[in-house]
Amino acid sequence: MRSKAVIVARVLLGLVFFVFGLNGFLHWFPLPTMKGAAAEFMGGLVASGYLFPLLFGTYTITGAALLTGRFVPLALTVLAPVIVNIVAVHLFLAPSGFPLTILVVALELFLAWSHRAAFRSLLRARNDAAPAR
């Protein structure tokens, strides 16, 4: 039962990031318009010229990794700071998108917990192993 839940969570999270990532390049559906501070923030990101293509490329690649089941711990690691920023944007600037954000956070945490063995070495305070030569 647990492995089916992990597969469903992985595919759902993969679909969210893969579809939104491709949408950044192919413009299948319009992004919601933002007002106030959220619009200023997004305007600054767009004005940088590089951040949105980088972000949408990251979404697409990590979404594909999750959908195929390859490099799942790496995809979760790359997505973690992206998801933290998504939470911050929706918490402080654009609360309308918060329900999908909560789903994404729940899926990320569930998958990270399910793959916790892959993260064990990252969460050690000290690494007593000899460095590779």
Residue pLDDT tens, the chain, 133 long: 469 999 999 999 999 999 999 999 998 988 778 888 888 998 998 899 999 999 999 999 999 999 999 999 999 999 999 999 999 999 998 888 788 899 999 999 999 999 999 998 888 887 776 676 7
Contact 62, 75 (CB under 8 A): yes
What is the pTM assigned to this prediction? 0.87
C-alpha 74/C-alpha 3 separation (Å) is 19
Contact 93, 41 (CB under 8 A): yes
